[in-house]
Amino acid sequence: MTDRRQWLRRNQATLLAYAMAIALFLVTSAFAHGFATWNHTRVLLVQACFIGIVGLGQTFVILGGGVDLSVPWMLNATATLLTLWCHGQAANLVWVLPVLLAMAVIVGLVNGLGVTLLGVSPIIMTLGVNGVLQGALLLITNGGQSPTAPHAIQQLATGNVAGIPIALLVWAAVALIAWLLLSKMSLGRQLYATGTNARVAYLSGVRVGRVTVLSYVISALASALAGVLLAGYVGEAYLGMGDVYLFSSVAAVVIGGASILGGRGHYVGTVAGALILTLLAALLPILNLNPAALQVVYGFAILLTVGLASLRLGGT
């Protein structure tokens, strides 16, 4: 009985997030005809997967006590370069995808090494890298429109297997990998220790620098994967397409029960956060609300969780 109470207390925020997601879905379904049909639910899940995949990387960084503000243009750069280099030809994916993944690893290394070796604040470091990516992409494209995405990428993002979206299967696969890394492997334990108290973790033998750098590499790879899928979903790439995923990815993590100060949370909760944000976005037109209201929700969620975390720390 005691173990059950401890488990419930430890996962209270995550369970609450899933309860909120289910309640939102049921309430909206009661007022919107056809909202709960499988076809519409399938669309919502695919839209949630973009937030969820970007949020995967953000989860790792936040658990380690950092934050990644370079995700918008990491996503945008991947989507744009994919379309530019492929020219609509799926055969070019053989070399384009490895190059894009290597680029993501380099961006993650730059972020991580800047934070660990140079001691730059995560906010400043990742915001600066985001600006570099934005400027470089503007120089490469000259502000012009990109070609259409290859059919294979479009099929990956919009196709179905036995009625289940392929993009959703991709999300499930990366979610499983994230769960294994955080729950079953030493990286997860070291990441939690780093986010809780980096100094104590270091004295306990944790290679804090390596863990931190790896979290930023995972974040960059997650943003790159989301960029590939989003380019296929939209059919093309456009400048600024990743901007909406900055606050939404952070909000999904904190709504899912993670502490934005690090050391507490899990990707299982981030999945619930992504679902809640997607349902809220779908609810806005039904309530005749301006889409800008969603930004208010993002900001309020982040401020609330930071405030609660600060109060918790002040009371210990």
User: Per the domain annotation, does 30 fall within a domain?
Assistant: no
| Residues 313, 203: Cα–Cα separation, whole Å | 21
| d(C-alpha 67, C-alpha 263), whole Å | 13
Strand-pair category, 160-161 with 164-165: antiparallel
Predicted confidence (pLDDT) per residue in 23-75, tens digit: 889 988 888 888 888 888 999 999 999 999 999 999 999 999 999 999 999 99
Which distant-in-sequence residues (6+ apart) come within 8 Å of 20 by Cβ?
272, 276
In the chain, % of residues over pLDDT 70: 91
Measured distance CA(86)–CA(93) in Å, rounded: 7
Does 112 map to a domain? yes
**For residue 6, pLDDT beyond 60:** yes
Q: Is residue 20 part of a domain?
A: no
| Residue at 163 is within a domain | yes
d(CA 285, CA 281): 8
What are the pLDDT digits (tens) for 297-313?
A: 767 766 665 565 555 54
CATH number at residue 228: 1.10.3470
Residue 169 pLDDT class (50, 70, 90 cuts):
very high
**CB-count exposure of residue 197 (10 Å: 0-12, 13-18, 19+):** middle
Domain containing 289 equals 43-302
Quick one: pLDDT at residue 2?
Answer: 65
pLDDT tens digits, 89-98: 889 999 999 9
**pLDDT of the residue at 30:** 83
9 pLDDT above the threshold of 90: no
- What integer pLDDT is reported at residue 255 of this predicted model? 87
310 falls within a domain: no
Q: Do 39 and 237 contact (CB within 8 A), yes or no?
A: no
Q: pTM score, two decimals?
A: 0.91
Average pLDDT, the chain: 88
Q: Is residue 221 part of a domain?
A: yes
Ranges 72-76, 122-126, 254-258: which has the least confidence: 254-258
Residue 23 domain-assigned (yes or no): no
Contact 46, 53 (CB under 8 A): no
Query: Has residue 64 been placed in a domain?
Result: yes
Number of domains observed in the structure of the chain: 1
